[in-house]
């Protein structure tokens, strides 16, 4: 949510930003908010004047009574009652206007960073940099589900019976590998100075509304029937919610956190061949990183966060690239975002394995996360990024470590978590 001062003072900037995001249908909202805000401030001015009159009149009643002017005192009491009624009406109007303003402000997109490329959708995202040499071996790389089945590592049929499509059982060495990837990510981030968290896996609706846009919520979140609880789509949701309605000391910042959680997502829409299997599922696990910082530090932390993901994947010798998200591909709360994509030797292209986002003060405004400064309180900036999110990362891992004989090499950093194993060997038929 942007600062309403932008609409009061520079509405043309807000409108231009909406155009850059190709959301012209939202342009009328700017003028609507400006008019509602004018009405709100007018009502507040009238209310302040009435309160001053009430205080003045109330003070005079005692003097009138002492002077024996009972009729004047009764008239003053009636005037106070009339003022109270007028104030009640104005306060009701203020509350209604506040709700109408907030409803519109919640869907006006955040002001994007000047460095963000302008484009309509993800097809116009811009490659920034590649890390590692993408290679395609001389031998065939099977579809990841075939690799998993050869290692007796997955059971989709039982999951369909127990839960439905989009779920899975991981088994044996693959289940251990999955956990090892997460454990290594945990320690990787702890070694970089981040504090480890395991957060709640459910959050209240007011936290959901604070951390994401309504359209994202509709497409992602599972709601617990009959309760004000939602299953989290990422641990960022509950981690940012941890700071809701708090005032942080400047000397406490930055808060650099890394959190593990399962994630639950509707994943609305039809998906192509490559997104079957483990690419797009309703339940997965993830190691996340979250930063809450002063506004002047958020650009620095944005760079540090995506570099952490790149370094993690490169430590496992998986080639990756970073892709700058264009204006039309940015979620409404984001100031700037980039995707980290891993190389798929089977598809001979990169695919998304994580996303790094700077949300400016948008989440902080929605959730009331402030910093206590020398010259008054101000809103914090929040950022988040994926360290690793298996099972999708398993696809990149298996394809990039598959050997010609069908075995899968275990990189050195993962071996301590795998009981010293150096490779996974397929079952002989």
The pLDDT tens digits of the residues spanning 231-243 come to 999 999 999 999 9
Q: What is the pLDDT of residue 179?
A: 97
| Higher pLDDT pick, 47 / 407 | 407
Q: What is the pLDDT of residue 194?
A: 98
Q: Which domain holds residue 94?
A: 4-105
Distance CA 385, CA 270 (A): 26
Q: Which two tokens stand for residue 194?
A: 């981040």
Q: What is the pLDDT of residue 82?
A: 81
What pLDDT digit, counting tens, does each position of 179-223 carry? 999 999 999 999 999 999 999 999 999 999 899 876 777 778 999
Q: What is the pLDDT of residue 406?
A: 95
Same-domain status, 96 and 132: no
390: left (phi over 0), alpha (psi -120 to 50) or beta: beta
Same-domain status, 324 and 370: yes
Same-domain status, 91 and 154: no
CB-based burial of residue 411 (10 Å sphere; 0-12 exposed, 13-18 middle, 19+ buried)?
A: middle
Name the least confident of 108-122, 184-198, 268-282, 360-374.
268-282
Same-domain status, 76 and 134: no
Q: What is the pLDDT of residue 428?
A: 65
Q: What's the rounded mean pLDDT across residues 332-354?
A: 96
Pairing type for strands 283-293 and 202-203 reads: unpaired
Distance CA 419, CA 350 (A): 31
Distance CA 103, CA 94 (A): 14
CATH of the domain at 53: 1.10.287.40
Reply yes or no on whether the pLDDT at 268 is more than 70.
no
Residue 117: inside a domain, yes or no? Answer: no
Residue 27: inside a domain, yes or no? Answer: yes
Average pLDDT, the chain: 92
Same-domain status, 232 and 330: yes
Residue 112: inside a domain, yes or no? Answer: no
Same-domain status, 404 and 291: yes
Those residues whose C-beta lies under 8 Å from the C-beta of residue 337, and which sit 6 or more positions away, are: 325, 329, 330, 331, 355, 356, 357, 358
**Residue carrying structure tokens 């940012």:** 240
Same-domain status, 274 and 301: yes
Q: What's the rounded mean pLDDT across residues 222-235?
A: 94
| Total count of domains within the chain | 2
Same-domain status, 313 and 262: yes
Same-domain status, 63 and 163: no
pLDDT-based confidence at residue 270 (cuts at 50, 70, 90): very low
Residue 31: inside a domain, yes or no? Answer: yes
- C-alpha distances out from residue 103 to 21, 96, 98, 106, 335, Å: 20, 11, 9, 5, 20
pLDDT-based confidence at residue 37 (cuts at 50, 70, 90): very high
Q: What's the rounded mean pLDDT across residues 51-58?
A: 78
Residue 29: inside a domain, yes or no? Answer: yes
Residue 429: inside a domain, yes or no? Answer: no
Same-domain status, 297 and 232: yes
CATH of the domain at 302: 3.30.930.10
Q: Which of 79, 105, 131 is the last residue of a domain?
A: 105
Q: Which of 42, 74, 105 is the last residue of a domain?
A: 105
Name the least confident of 110-124, 165-179, 261-275.
261-275
Same-domain status, 196 and 245: yes
Question: SS in 3 state form for the chain?
Answer: CCCHHHHHHCHHHHHHHHHHCCCHHHHHHHHHHHHHHHHHHHHHHHHHHHHHHHHHHHHHHHHHHHCCCHHHHHHHHHHHHHHHHHHHHHHHHHHHHHHHHHHHHCCCCCCCCCCCCCCCCHHHCEEEEEECCCCCCCCCCCCHHHHHHHCCCEEHHHHHHHCCCCCCEECHHHHHHHHHHHHHHHHHHHCCCCEEECCCCEECHHHHHHHCCHHHHHHHCEECCCCCCEECCCHHHHHHHCCCCEEEEHHHCCEEEEEEEEEECCCCCCCCHHHCCCCCCCEEEEEEEEEEECHHHHHHHHHHHHHHHHHHHHHCCCCEEEEECCHHHCCCCCCEEEEEEEEECCCCEEEEEEEEEECCCHHHHHHCEEEEECCEEEECEEEEEEEECCCHHHHHHHHHHECCCCCEECCHHHHHHHCCCCEECCCCC
Residue 114: inside a domain, yes or no? Answer: no
Residue 113: inside a domain, yes or no? Answer: no
Distance CA 9, CA 5 (A): 6
Q: Nearest-5° angle of CA 32, CA 34, CA 39?
A: 95
Reply yes or no on whether the pLDDT at 429 is more than 60.
no
Q: Which two tokens stand for residue 68?
A: 């024996």
Q: What's the rounded mean pLDDT across residues 279-304?
A: 95
Same-domain status, 86 and 185: no
Q: Which of 105, 139, 169 is the last residue of a domain?
A: 105
Q: What's the rounded mean pLDDT across residues 166-178?
A: 95
What pLDDT digit, counting tens, does each position of 59-70 carry? 787 777 787 887
């Amino acid at each position: 949510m942007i600062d309403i001062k932008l609409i009061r003072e520079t509405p043309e900037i807000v409108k231009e930003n909406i155009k850059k995001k190709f959301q012209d249908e939202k342009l009328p909202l700017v003028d609507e908010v400006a008019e509602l805000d004018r009405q709100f401030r007018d009502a507040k001015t009238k209310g302040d004047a009435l309160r001053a009159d009430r205080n003045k009149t109330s003070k005079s009643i005692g003097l009138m009574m002492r002077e024996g002017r009972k009729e004047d005192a009764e008239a003053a009491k009636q005037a106070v009652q009339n003022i109270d009624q007028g104030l009640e009406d104005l306060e009701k109007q203020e509350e209604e206007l506040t709700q109408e303003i907030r409803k519109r402000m919640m869907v006006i997109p955040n002001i994007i960073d000047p460095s963000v490329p302008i484009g309509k959708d993800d097809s116009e995202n811009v490659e920034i940099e590649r890390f590692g040499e993408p290679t395609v071996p001389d031998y065939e790389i099977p579809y990841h589900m075939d690799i998993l089945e050869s290692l007796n590592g997955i059971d989709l049929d039982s999951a369909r019976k127990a839960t439905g499509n989009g779920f899975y059982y991981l088994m044996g060495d693959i289940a251990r590998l999955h956990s090892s990837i997460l454990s290594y990510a945990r320690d990787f981030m702890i070694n970089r100075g981040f504090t480890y968290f395991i957060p709640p896996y459910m959050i209240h609706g007011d936290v959901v509304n604070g951390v994401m846009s309504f359209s994202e919520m509709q497409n992602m979140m599972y709601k617990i029937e009959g309760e004000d609880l939602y299953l989290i789509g990422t641990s960022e949701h509950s981690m940012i919610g941890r700071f809701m309605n708090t005032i942080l000391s400047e000397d406490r910042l930055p808060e650099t956190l890394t959190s593990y959680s399962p994630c639950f997502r509707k994943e609305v829409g039809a998906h192509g061949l490559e997104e079957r299997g483990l690419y797009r599922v309703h339940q997965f696990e993830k190691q996340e990183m979250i930063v809450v910082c002063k506004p002047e530090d958020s650009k620095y932390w944005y760079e540090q966060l995506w570099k952490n993901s790149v370094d993690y994947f490169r430590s496992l010798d998986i080639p990756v690239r970073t892709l700058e998200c264009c204006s039309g591909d940015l979620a409404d709360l984001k100031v700037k975002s980039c995707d980290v994509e891993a190389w798929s030797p089977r598809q001979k292209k990169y695919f998304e394995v994580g996303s790094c986002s700077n949300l400016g003060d948008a989440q902080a405004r929605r959730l009331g996360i402030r910093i206590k400064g020398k010259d008054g309180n101000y809103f914090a900036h929040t950022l988040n990024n994926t360290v690793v999110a298996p099972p999708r990362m398993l696809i990149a891992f298996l394809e990039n470590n598959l050997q010609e004989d069908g075995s899968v090499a275990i990189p050195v950093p993962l071996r301590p978590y795998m009981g010293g194993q150096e490779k996974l060997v397929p079952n002989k038929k």
